[in-house]
Amino acid sequence: AQSVAQPEDQVNVAEGNPLTVKCTYSVSGNPYLFWYVQYPNRGLQFLLKYITGDNLVKGSYGFEAEFNKSQTSFHLKKPSALVSDSALYFCAVSGYSGAGSYQLTFGKGTKLSVIP
């Protein structure tokens, strides 16, 4: 079975500074990795995903993520944070459950606060 760890419950960053939200994963086989964002009182919105190829994946709203196979990490990054980026961020890995069915497994989420 696969798993995802987001080691930081909360990340605070000043507006205009670069931000990083960390994610590590464990999965059998090739990793398929996703980042979602949840704004208050809203559903999850897809940001980006890694399937194969280039280790730097670009996504929506200026976000990107760096895949590192040796460190089993998939950290979310943005060069310059905006106050509007304040939200809850989820990392997820796709794999097969013990019963052999497709499953998307989420981390517990990281709350990002961008301080004006």
Q: Which residues bind another protein (CB under 8 A)?
A: 30, 32, 34, 36, 41-46, 49, 51, 90, 94-96, 99, 101-104, 106-109
Provide the minimum distance between the beta carbon of 14 and another protein in the complex, in angstroms, as a whole number: 26
* Residue placing its CB nearer to another protein in the complex, 98 or 116: 98
Nearest approach, Cβ of residue 59 and another protein (Å): 11
CB within 8 A of 25, min separation 6: which ones?
A: 2, 3, 4, 5, 31, 33, 72, 73, 74, 91, 93
Q: Name the β-bridge partners of 45.
A: 37
Q: Which is nearer to another protein, 17 or 55 (CB)?
A: 55
Distance in angstroms (rounded) separating the CA atoms of residues 45 and 89: 10
Q: How far is the CB of 71 from another protein (least distance, A)?
A: 21
Comparison of 8 and 15: residue with beta carbon closer to another protein = 8
